[in-house]
Amino acid sequence: RGDIDLLFTAPTSTEALIPVLKEIYDSGIPVITVDTYLGDGDYTKPSNYNFPLAYIGTDNFLGGQVVAGQLALMLGGKGKVFLENTNPDVSSVMGRELGFRAGIKIFPDMELVGVEYCLDVQETAVAQVNAALQKHPDLDGVFGVNVFSAQGAYQAVVTAGLEGAVKIATWDATEILIEALKRGEVDLILAQMPAEMGALCVEWGVKHLTEGAEIPRKVIPGFFVFTQENVNDPEA
């Protein structure tokens, strides 16, 4: 079709969609990746994936580091933690995992005992976290990196009757998780700014199409960390 002036896309693979999106770009349609990116997300260096105008989305590596630091502080800098991820081929969640790994390494008495991938199936996440709890009865914390892995981790810990004993850190502020945080069943939620992300896409897309504006190769919205202490604050 010939009525598309610009494409916003959230690639579900860092590699598999490169040829498809490159073909679209070569047809004369500029591409902006949002929330997830191609390759390693660095569009400034020579590569087969540096054709998008920009990546607009959360700094997932930094977010993972923040969660690791907050979880470690909750545990007094000492403990065993487990990470429930979703898809090892998706840039956003792998950024969170890598950031979390790096953040945990800062604390010499913190140990990441395992990582599993649920492929966005919440029931699989429940089973995987259940298995981790059985394998590591001294587990101190769990981090779920997206909606399905986070809600699955929460469900597994609560079903086991271990809420409070096993700290739960999650990504994405769903209603289920916010209510669980208010009840003291979840300990930490990192919330992205999806509305800001979408607004930035439209803002920069319009500027590029109407003014020829050069878009920064990375546009990074912020995020907010919910805890039991601030979840009821008006600004939260």
What are the structure tokens assigned to 124, written together?
């699989």
Q: Is the pLDDT of residue 2 over 80?
A: no
How far is residue 145's CA from residue 222's CA, in Å, rounded to a whole number?
Answer: 17
Domains of the chain and CATH, by start: 7-58+193-222 (3.40.50.2300), 60-191 (3.40.50.2300)
What is the arithmetic mean of pLDDT over 230-236?
Answer: 82
- Whether the CB-CB separation of 144 and 169 falls below 8 Å is answered with yes
Per-residue pLDDT tens over the stretch 67-110: 999 999 999 999 999 999 999 999 999 999 999 999 999 999 99
Q: Is the pLDDT of residue 233 over 90?
A: no
Question: What is the DSSP track for 66-131?
Answer: HHHHHHHHHTTTEEEEEEEES-TT-HHHHHHHHHHHHHHHTSTEEEEEEEEE-TT-HHHHHHHHHH
- Whether the CB-CB separation of 32 and 215 falls below 8 Å is answered with yes
Radius of gyration for the alpha carbons in the chain, expressed in angstroms and rounded:
19
Q: How many CB atoms lie within 10 A of CB 56?
A: 28
What are the structure tokens assigned to 82, written together?
């487990």
Q: How confident is the model at residue 236 (pLDDT cuts 50, 70, 90)?
A: low
How far is residue 136's CA from residue 133's CA, in Å, rounded to a whole number?
Answer: 5
What is the arithmetic mean of pLDDT over 207-220?
Answer: 96
Evaluate if pTM is beyond 0.75. Answer: yes
Q: How confident is the model at residue 3 (pLDDT cuts 50, 70, 90)?
A: confident
Per-residue pLDDT tens over the stretch 12-59: 999 999 999 999 999 999 999 999 999 999 999 999 999 999 999 999
Start-to-end CA span in the chain (Å): 43
Spacing of C-alpha 8 from chain mean position: 19
What is the arithmetic mean of pLDDT over 105-128?
Answer: 98
Per-residue pLDDT tens over the stretch 134-192: 999 999 999 999 999 999 999 999 999 999 999 999 999 999 999 999 999 999 999 99
Strands 224-227 and 188-191: antiparallel
Run of H or E including 133: helix 122-135
**Burial (0-12, 13-18, 19+ Cβ within 10 Å), 48:** exposed
Model pLDDT, residue 235: 73
Longest dimension (CA), the chain: 59
